[in-house]
Chains A and B, each alone.
Chain A
Amino acid sequence: MNSASRRLWRTSPLTYVALVLATLLSIYPFYYMVVIATRSLDSINDVPPPFTPGGAFGDNFGRVLDNDAANFLTGLLNSVIVSSVVTLSVVITGSLAGFAFAKLRFRGRNALLLAIIVTMMIPTQLGLIPLWGMIQDLNWYGTLYAVTVPFLVSAFGVFMMRQYATQAVSDELIEAGRVDGASTFRIYWNIVLPALRPAAAVLGLLTFMETWNSFLWPYAVLPPENPTLQVSLAFLSYAYYTDYSQVFAATAVGTIPLVVVFVLFGRQIIGGIMEGAVKS
């Protein structure tokens, strides 16, 4: 690299100052959440506000568990169930359909793929009111079916898997499978799925996070007695808004698992998001 381009791509100290500042702003609310969650109730109203963690987390979280109106543990368990089922289903149906669109020939393929891309643009809130009515008609109100079944498939999932399968699965390998007499499903299972694993992992992580974090729909169809975690948090904060330590202890417990997952797999998640951005 010549000296002109070296000068061009150098990194000045100001760059680091700006990035460290952005990092602190990004991290601070997490830190603040931990501070309040570990503080005793009466120290929260201090002026200046507390800036260091305390030792009252056990006590605060104990109040969450004792709080019969919050149904926090039910919410936690429900969120684990719903997020796992949805994630598994989105990855399987997405990879099956993605494989078909990328590697199989059939009539109407392009039109159907276009239909999927178009549906990605339509905001889901458009169907919210009739969907709410349908859930009533199905007698699913208040059950986990209501928050699981409509999300078992994802247009984004199909599209992402199709993009990945197009380049990651070689036609030769599929042909070789055919010559050996393997059925299409066997080819999917033994050749395609292993090749799709990196993309499937990212899709799974994104789907899990999105489902874990979703609020509007669970809020609309689940009562406070059988909530998901986010619904439980919301009701906790509405009803017990003076007991911030309790609310923050619950919020921290609901948030930290995802933060841990992100710290472990952040590189892949970010890679997946950036790759998706360039292709679309």
Chain B
Amino acid sequence: MSLSATTAPPSPAAPTPPPSRRHRSRSSSLTRLDLRFSPYLYIAPFFVIFGIFGLYPMLRTAWMSLHDWNLIGDHTFIGFDNYTKLVTDEYFWNATFNTFGIFLLSTVPQLLLALFLANLLNRTFLRARTLFRMAIFMPNVVSVAAVAIVFGMLFQRDFGVFNWLLGFVGVDPVDWDAERWSSWSAIASMVNWRWTGYNTLILLAGMQAIPRELYEAAALDGASQWRQFWRITLPMLTPTFVFVVILSTIGGLQLFTEPLVFANGNIIGGDQREFQTLAMYMYELGIENLNTAGYGAAVAWAMFLMIALMSLVNFLLVRRTVK
């Protein structure tokens, strides 16, 4: 018995009896109103709230960036002065350098590892599949603040687990938050830990959409697993991979909480700004220091342009190399 028989529309041969004339005319005008306006009513909450608290502030950021503006509200129009100031701002370039450094240290190993794990999880005869998937995704459930607190202690100089482990291979304790490379590594490890599982699942979903027959045909032709991975999995996975890379770019360039908590709330990120990110610099200018909101808005737009540009470059690059 198929279920569709019971849910099929009534056949035209057996029309429902028309309701009485008076009743129909009143209710049909109501129905017309209902049909015409309820769609707008249903999408209105999104557009109203998003318009006020999402879109308007974004546009206002652009307007503010053209002013010498403080958050008390005083402002004078100065054109593109904030942007020209940005070009020679040492702290801005420092924050850009740090952001990209941490971004590379977190994104590259993370995506390679995710690709590797997804490939393992994609095996047909894998046991305890759901268990592995859940375990690998679990880090994503924790808040960034909690991750930063836990890793902050793992990276503690005197009694942290990482320095203790390094002691076994004869490395002296590292003062993780004192140097650029070490603080970058520590922060990147938090990002890697939290997001590798998430990316693994997305890539796995992409892999599972690849038709099995391709692999079976390749196996009959004697192609090794490695070869199949390069010739079938990777090319077929390109759209998903681009998606994951762009997602990581958007997240990576907005990095804020990990470095902030790692620095115990110090918005400049280490004594010498060794790990102040762009988002932290924007926050420092726009919110911690009330007088430079306009300049902070310019940093926000610079950040946005970088994200857009990076997404585009990634898109083109990944497309080309994986093909």
Contacts and interface: CB of A to CB of B under 8 A. Distances in A.
Interface of A: 2, 4-5, 7-11, 15-16, 18-19, 22-23, 25-27, 29-30, 32-33, 36, 44-49, 93-94, 96-97, 99-101, 104-106, 109, 112, 116, 119, 121-134, 136, 149-150, 152-153, 155, 158, 170, 172-173, 175-176, 179, 181, 183-185, 188, 209, 212-216, 220, 230, 233-235, 237-238, 241, 244, 247-248, 251, 254-255, 258-259, 262-263, 266-267, 269-270, 273-275, 277-278, 280
A116 B58 contact: no
Given A22-B136, A46-B159, A150-B49, A234 B261 contact: yes
B257 A128 contact: no
Contacts of A158: 43, 46
A155 B136 CA distance: 27
Nearest to A112: B43
Most buried by A among B34, B45, B121: B45
Interface string B153-182: 110001111001000000000000000000
B164 A47 contact: yes
Contacts of A116: 46
6 contacts: A9-B125, A29-B147, A126-B303, A130-B61, A153-B46, A179-B10
A126 B58 contact: yes
The binding surface of chain A is classed by DSSP as: helix
A233 B265 contact: no
A44 B263 CA distance: 21
B87 interface: no
Q: Tell me if B's interface is mostly helix, strand, loop or mixed.
A: helix
B307 A259 contact: no
A179 B16 contact: yes
A118 to B, nearest CB: 11
Interface of B: 7-10, 16, 19, 27, 31, 34-36, 38-40, 42-43, 45-47, 49-50, 53-58, 60-61, 64, 71, 73, 116-117, 120-121, 123-127, 130, 132-139, 141-147, 149-154, 158-161, 164, 193, 197-198, 201-202, 204-206, 208-209, 212, 215-216, 219-220, 225, 228, 240, 243, 250, 253-254, 256-257, 260-261, 264-265, 279, 282-283, 286-287, 293, 296-297, 300-301, 303-304, 307
